Amino acid sequence: MKSLAELQAIKERTLKSMTSRSDSEDNTRIVVGMATCGIAAGARPVLNAFTEEIARRNLKGVTVSQTGCIGMCQYEPIVEVFVPGKEKVTYVQVSPEKAAKIVADHIVNGNVVAEYTVGSIAK
């Protein structure tokens, strides 16, 4: 260890892997339905895709967690996104590819991906 820069590099690198341990109420929350129906429909790869995408983009203040059955099993995997101060958005039949787009459009740029939401299916 020769310099502050080296120390900072370790700090940044490690903090990134510790983000899931900050559970502030101001965080944006991405919740993946992980009941039997969700898992059967492929929710696990979706959950991991969100985690990886957020790590890759180095996003702060975003937590990915799981929940049980939301009740619309035919639309699983279902993902709900809670941005503080905004209405909840429910995405249905999410795939790892869709997850990447949701992070890019919705989480980063604030544009809800309307075509993936539960509203678009009901039509």
CB nearer to another protein: pick between 8 and 111: 8
CB nearer to another protein: pick between 23 and 123: 23
Shortest distance, position 114 Cβ to another protein, whole Å = 26
**Residue 26, interface with another protein (CB under 8 A)?**
no
**Residue 71, interface with another protein (CB under 8 A)?**
no
Q: Which of 28, 35, 76, 103 binds another protein (CB under 8 A)?
A: 35
Token duo for residue 117: 């939401």
Question: Which residue has 């059967």 as its token pair?
Answer: 40
Q: Which of 28, 41, 64, 107 binds another protein (CB under 8 A)?
A: 64
CB nearer to another protein: pick between 22 and 111: 22
Cβ contacts of 115 within 8 Å, gap of 6 or more: none
**Residue 34, interface with another protein (CB under 8 A)?**
yes
Instruction: Quickly list DSSP for the chain.
Output: ---HHHHHHHHHHHHHHHGGG---TTSEEEEEE-SHHHHHTTHHHHHHHHHHHHHHTT--SEEEEEE---S-GGG-S-EEEE-TTS--EEE-S--HHHHHHHIIIIIIT----GGGBHHHHH-
Interacting residue ranges for another protein, rule: CB under 8 A: 1-4, 7, 10-11, 13-15, 17-18, 20-21, 23, 25, 32-36, 39, 47-48, 50-52, 55, 63-68
